[in-house]
Amino acid sequence: MIDTFYNSTYTVSRMTTSTSTGTDSAVTTFTGTCVVRPISEKAQLIDEANIGKEFKMSCYATDNISVGDKITIDSVGYGVQAVTKYEDLETGDDTHYEVRIVRGTKR
């Protein structure tokens, strides 16, 4: 049901280390659909310095997202600050992740 509002496509990049060269590089791990909404209330912000840059992204609970990943939506980069799973205890149809993302976060 909530997935009827998913109107954006996103890509997840995760940092990996090459053991042969010892260098870090971002590797695309997942692509999915979501809906992104701004966090408007100051009390809901993880970091008050991020006002206007912090968003809540809802996506499928089966998506491969972790704290520290970089998400790209419409060529804009966001850093993942928190991932919370919300369970639909009645039917399971609305089980989803709410992901806190911050625009412009560098990895």
76 forms bridges with which residues in the sheet?
73
- pLDDT one-digit tens code per residue, 55-83: 999 999 889 899 999 999 999 999 999 99
Tens digits of pLDDT across the chain (107 residues)? 677 888 899 999 987 776 677 667 777 788 999 999 888 676 566 666 666 688 999 999 889 899 999 999 999 999 999 999 998 877 767 889 999 999 886 54
- Residues ≥6 apart with Cβ < 8 Å to 55: 36, 37, 38, 39, 78, 100, 101, 102, 103
Could you give all domains of the chain from N- to C-terminal order, each with its CATH number? 2-103 (2.40.10.270)
Query: 24-38 and 8-17 as β-strands: parallel, antiparallel, unpaired?
Result: antiparallel
